[in-house]
Amino acid sequence: MSIAKPPLGHDLDAPVDRQAATGALRTELRGYQTALDGFDEAVSQRLGVNRTDLRCLDLLEQHGPMTAGALAEASGLTSGAVTFVLDRLERAGFLRRRRDPSDRRRVVVELEPAGNLRAWALHEPFVHDARAAAANFSVEELAAICRFLRTCKDLYTKHAAELRKPTEDE
């Protein structure tokens, strides 16, 4: 097998064939995931919450107020586990529970503005740097990145659902 030589002026870090490109992509995704995990761990430590609690805060920030059941479904946690998460986050000042005005039997969970600002203050420097980094990509490149990440998100969701199904041994 002959090794393809990069064309003149080619970025030497960029792969020159599909196999090399997918290998580089795999390596970069794993590195990205490790760095993201490290960042989330540092944020959760700074906020005094665990990673599951941080994930639930993120879901509430993304989707807005929701019932405990909806949060359980979105997070993949049991309703009992979500109750413990909500108790911890409420005590720490990150969220509050309120009665649903349209159905008084339901409780809706929402972020406390002060708690949300505490979390945002830790994310803001990263967001600023990420926006500056995104400015180095064309609109077409950003669209391709978004399409790829959406595809990966859908695949993770699909495979997580498969892993949650009981096996024959269970």
pTM for the structure as a whole: 0.82
Beta strands in 20-168 (DSSP E): 66-67, 95-100, 103-111
Residue 24 belongs to some domain of the structure:
yes
Note whether 102 and 147 are same-domain residues: no
pLDDT at 133: 97
d(CA 121, CA 92): 16
Q: What's the domain count of the chain?
A: 3
Residue 8 belongs to some domain of the structure:
no
Note whether 85 and 103 are same-domain residues: yes
pLDDT tens-digit profile of 108-130? Answer: 999 999 999 999 999 999 999 99
Residue 170 belongs to some domain of the structure:
no
Residue 95 belongs to some domain of the structure:
yes
Domain range spanning residue 85? 53-111
Please report, rounded to a whole number, the percentage of residues in the chain having pLDDT higher than 70. 90
